[in-house]
Structure 1
Amino acid sequence: MSPTDPSPGGLARRLGTGDAVVVGLGAMIGAGVFAAFAPAAAAAGGWLLAALGVAAVVAYCNAMSSARLAARYPESGGTYVYGRQRLGDLWGHLAGWGFVVGKTASCAAMALTVGSYLAPGYARPVAVAAVVALTALNLFGVHRSALATRIIIGVVLVVLAAVVVAGLLGGTGPVVGAAGGAPVDGWGVLQGAGLLFFAFAGYARIATLGEEVRDPRRTIPQAIPIALGIALTVYALVAIAALRALGPAGLAGAPAPLAAAVSQAGAGWLTPVVRIGAATAALGALLALILGVSRTVFAMSRGRHLPAGLDAVHPRRQVPHRAEIAVGVAVVALVCVADLREAIGFSSFGVLIYYAVANAAALTLRRDEGALPKPVPVVGISGCLLLAATLPGTAVLAGLAVFAVGAVVWWAGRGVRARR
C-alpha cells in the first residue's frame, strides 16, 4: 500500500511530519500571540510569565497523552475517538462536543481578529469573507491547506522576530513581578494560565488529522512535542518583549498589544507590519481550526453522535466536504455575535475539559500500549480541571451549559446508535 493511499475511512494520507508540525503551529501561534496575552495579563498582572509556565506544564502533559493516544488510534476525531475507546461512549461524545462547540467559537474569534486588523470599520464583513475563502481552500484538499499554512507561519515568525527585537532593545518596563512589589496573586496566575491555554491548544489539530498523516504511529508523536516546543519558545520571547515595552498594565489594556509594544518601544514604523502580521496569523489559525473542527464533525457523524450525512467524503478530493461546509456555515453565523475576549474564555473551558478526557483516557493505557509514567496524565487531568475552574465566571457557566446540552443530545441519540 502506498503511503498516500486512502485510510480505511476514505481520507488520503498526504501529510508528513513537517506538514503536521506546521498545521499545529498555524493553530497555536496565530491564536495565542495576537489574542491571548492581553486578557491573560489583565488576570496575572506582572506574573504573566509564571502563568505562561503553568499553562505550558499542563499543555505538555496533554500533548504527551494526546501523542500516545493518537499513535494508538490514528483516526480522525482526536479525543472523541480516544474517550469512546478507553472510557465509554458518553465521555467520547462529550469530548467531541466540547471541542466542536468551543473551537467553532474560536474560529469566529480568529475571523473577527482578521477583520479588526485589516479593516476595523468593516470587521464582520471581512471576517465572513475570510471564513468563506478558507473553507473553500480546505475543500480543495488538506495538502493545499498545509502548504498555505507553511507560508503563513513563515511570514508570522518574521514579524514576531521584529517585535521581539524592538521590545527587547527599546523597552524599559518590568518583566517579572507585580507592579509596586505586590505579592503574587495565585488565583490571577491560574486564571491567566487558563486563558493562555487557549494559545497552546493547536496541537490538537495534529491529532484530529490522524487519517490524513503518513505513518501516523511515528509522525504524530514526533510532530506534537516539536510544535509545542517551538510555540512555547516563541510565546516566552514575545511575552518578555511585550512586558518590557508596555509593562503589565499597558499590555492588559492594549486592544492590539503587539502593535502597541513596537510603538512604545520607538519602532512605530513597524506598526503596519505588525497589523498585517496579526491578520496573517489569524488567517493561519482560522485555516487550521476549520480543518480540525471539520474532521471532528466528520468523525462524530460517522459514529452517529452528529447527524448522518456529515461523514461524506468527496469522491475525487477525498476530504469530508459536507462537514467542512457545515463548520463554515456555523462560523459565519457566530461571527455576527462573537466577542474576542469572551470567546477565548469560553473556548479555553471547552478545550480544557476535552484534554481532561484525553488524560483520563491515557491513564488507562497499558505498558504494551505505550503507557506514559502515571504522573503525566494525573498532572494533566488535575491541571485541566483546576484551570477550567479558575476561568471567568461567564465562561465557566456558559461551558457547563454547553456540556449539559451535549449530554442531552447524547441521551437522545442512543436509540439511533443502538440500531446501527
Structure 2
Amino acid sequence: MTVPAPLARRLGTTDAVVIGLGSMLGAGVFSVFAPAAQAAGAGLLLGLLLAGAVAYANATASAQLAAQYPTSGGTYVYGRERLGPWWGFVAGWGFVVGKTASCAAMALTFAAYVAPSGWERPAGVAAVVVLTAVSCRGITRTARLTRVVVVVVLVALVVVVVSALVGGAPRWSRLDLTLSHADGWYGVLQSAGLLFFAFAGYARIATLGEEVRDPRRTIPRAVHIALAVTVLVYGTVAVTLLSVLGPDRLAASATPLATAVQAGGWTWAVPVVTVGAAAAALGALLSLLAGVGRTSLAMARHDDLPRWLDAVDPRHQVPLRAEVTLAVVVCVLVLIVDLRGVIGFSSFGVLVYYLVANLAAFTQRQQDRRTPRGLQVAGALGCVVLVATLPPSSAVAGTTVLAAGVVYRLWRTRARARPQQ
C-alpha cells in the first residue's frame, strides 16, 4: 500500500495563534451576539462565561491530544487512536458537516456587507473561489493573509468599543444578571450553546498538527493564547453592546456593531466596521477551508471518505483535491441554502466533535497528560448540556445529518468486507 505523502511543517507558534484568532474572531464577534441576546437578554454574559469555560476544557483536551498525535485530522485522529474507528468517524463527520455549513455562512456574511442587493450569493461564491486558490498555494500563505485579516478586525473592534462608549451614553444598569429574561437559566444555556460557535476556532490549530514545527510545545501554547485573547475581546465587545444598546435593541439588530457605532455618533466609522466585518468573515472562511480540508484528508486516508481525496499536491504540499471538493460543496450551499439557522447547526456538530475529544483525552496515560482528568469530565458534560439546550430545529437537523453519516459509513464498511467473504 502506498504511504500517503506528509504535509510540510512550516508553522510556528505565532502563525498557529493567528490562524486560531482569525477563525474565532471572524466566526463570532460579528454574528453571534444578537441571537444570544434573543435567547438570554443580558444573561448572555453568563452564557459567554459558560461557553468560555467549556471551550477551555475542550482546548486542554485538544492541546494535549494534538501534542501526542501531531498529524492532520484533529479529533478524528484522536478518537480513532484512543476510542476506536467509529468514535473517530463521528467526530470527523460532525466537524466536516458543521464547518462546511460555517464556510457557507462566512461567505454569505462577507457578501452581505460588501455586495449590492441581489448580488450577495455570486459575491459569496467569488469569495470561496479566491480564498480556495490562496489556500491551495500553501499553508504559509494562509497564515500570512490571516495575520493581515486579524489586524484589520482588531482595529475595527477598537473603533466599535471606543466610539460606542465615548458617545453612546452607556448605562451599566443594562448589564442585568438577575435572569429577568423569560427563559431564565434555559435561555442562558441556549445562549452559551450559540456563543460556543464563536470559540471553535482553536480546532483549526489542532487540525494543522502535521504542519506545525515542534507540535508538542507549539500546539498547546497556541491554543491557550488564542483562546485567552478571544475571551478578552468577546467580553469587552459584549459589555459594550449591552451597555450602549441594551438587550432588546441588541437582539433586534442585524448588524449590532454598526448600530453601536451609530449610537455613539461616529457615523464616519461605520465603513470601518463594515470593512472589519468583511475581513473577519474572510479570515474565518480561509481558516475554515484549511481546517475542513485537512480533516477530510485524514478521513480519506482511513477510507471514511473517498480515497482519492487523500492526495497531497507535490509542489505546495496541501490536500488539493480535498480543498477543491470542499470549495465546490460550499459554493453550492451559498447559492441554494438559507443559512439563518446555521449557527445552531454548526454548534451541534462542533459540540459533538469536542465531546469525543474530551472522552479521548480522558483515556490518555499520565505521562501524556497536562491537566487533571476531571477537566475532561467537565468538558464532556458541558458539551452534552449545551447540545441539549440548542434550538430544537438545530438539534433535529444535526441529529439527522449525523445519522446519515453513520449510515454512509455502515454501507462503506460492508462494501469493503464483501470481497473478503
Name the TM-score class by shorter chain.
over 0.9
Q: C-alpha separation between the residues in 1 aligned to 2:332 and 2:368?
A: 42
The runs of 5 or more residues in structure 2 that have no matched partner are: none
Whole-angstrom distance in 2 between the partners of 1:369 and 1:144: 32
Percent of aligned pairs sharing the same letter: 58
For the pair 1:109 / 2:105, whether they are aligned, the reply is yes
In 1, the alpha carbon distance for the partners of 2:416 and 2:73 equals 17
Helix, strand or coil at the partner of 2:30:
helix
Counterpart of 1:403, as a letter, is L
Q: Are the equivalent residues in 1 in contact too, given 2:16–2:222 (CA < 8 A)?
A: yes
* Structure 2: distance between partners of 1:316 and 1:180: 56
Q: Say yes or no: does 1:395 pair with 2:391.
A: no
1:321 aligns with 2:320: yes
Residue from 149, 158, 181 that aligns with 1:161:
158
The amino acid that maps onto 1:220 is I
Q: Give the C-alpha shift of residue 70 in structure 1.
A: 0.3
Alignment of 1:315-394 (within 5 A): 315-370=314-369, 372-394=371-393
Residue type at the aligned position of 2:367: D
Query: Does 1:34 pair with 2:10?
Result: no
**Per the alignment, in what secondary structure is the counterpart of residue 35 of structure 1?**
coil
Q: 1:57 to 1:175 in 2, by over 3 A?
A: farther
Describe the superposition over 1:324-358 as per-residue Cα deviations: whole angstroms up to 9, x where unpaired. Answer: 10110010011123334301010000000100000
Tell me how far apart the structure 2 counterparts of residues 212 and 353 of structure 1 sit (CA, whole Å).
25
1:337 and 1:242 map into 2 onto residues whose CA distance is: 33
Paired residue type of 1:128? V
TM-score normalised over the length of structure 2? 0.95
Matched, 1:12 2:8: yes
Find the aligned partners of 1:80 and 1:185 in 2 and give their Cα distance: 36
**1:53-84 Cα distance to aligned partner (Å, 9 max, x none):** 00000000000000000001011000000011
Note if contact 1:113-1:340 (Cα within 8 Å) is conserved in structure 2: no
Give, in angstroms, the shift of residue 120 of structure 1: 4.6
State the partner residue of 2:121: 124
Partner of residue 54 from structure 1, selected from 11, 33, 50: 50
- SS class of match (1:309): helix
Q: Which residue of 1 aligns with 2:62?
A: 66
1:142 equivalent to 2:144? Answer no
Q: Is the 8 A contact 2:43 2:181 kept in 1?
A: no
> In structure 1, the residue corresponding to 2:8 is in which secondary structure?
coil
Deviations 1:291-336 (A, max 9, x none): 0000000100011000011000111111110001011001001112
RMSD over aligned CA atoms reads 1.8
2:262 paired residue number? 263
Indicate the SS of the match to 1:28. helix
CA drift at 1:127: 0.4
**8 Å Cα contact 1:109/1:339 also seen in 2:** no
Aligned partners of 2:377 and 2:336: how far apart in 1?
Answer: 37
**Aligned AA (1:210):** G
- SS of the equivalent of 1:242 reads helix
**1:34 aligns to what SS in structure 2?**
coil
Q: Distance in 1 between matches of 2:182 and 2:143?
A: 45
Residues 394 and 182 of structure 1, relative CA distance in 2, 3 Å threshold: closer
Q: 1:177–1:184: 8 Å Cα contact kept in structure 2? A: no
* Equivalent residue, structure 2, for 1:278: 277
Q: 1:234 to 1:175 in 2, by over 3 A?
A: farther
Superposition deviation, residue 371 in structure 1:
5.4
Q: What's the offset of the Cα at 1:110?
A: 0.3
Deviation at 1:178, TM superposition (A): 6.1
User: How many equivalent pairs are there?
Assistant: 414
2:190 matched to which residue of 1? 191
Letter in 1 for 2:163: A
**Which one-letter code corresponds to 1:348 in the other structure?**
S
Q: Secondary structure at the match of 1:387?
A: helix
* Contact map agreement 1:178 1:184 (CA 8 A) in 2: no
How far does residue 264 in structure 1 lie from its aligned partner after superposition? 1.3
In 1: Cα distance, 2:323 partner to 2:149 partner: 21
Give the deviation of 1:119 after TM superposition.
1.5
Distance 2:350 2:4 in 1: 28
Query: Are the structure 2 counterparts of residues 278 and 61 from structure 1 closer, same or farther at C-alpha, using a change threshold of 3 Å?
Result: same
SS in 1 for 2:364: coil
Q: Could you list the per-position Cα deviations for residues 24-58 of structure 1 after superposition, in whole angstroms to 9, with x for gaps in the alignment?
A: 00100001000111111110101111110000000
Matched, 1:75 2:74: no
Q: Secondary structure at the match of 1:272?
A: helix
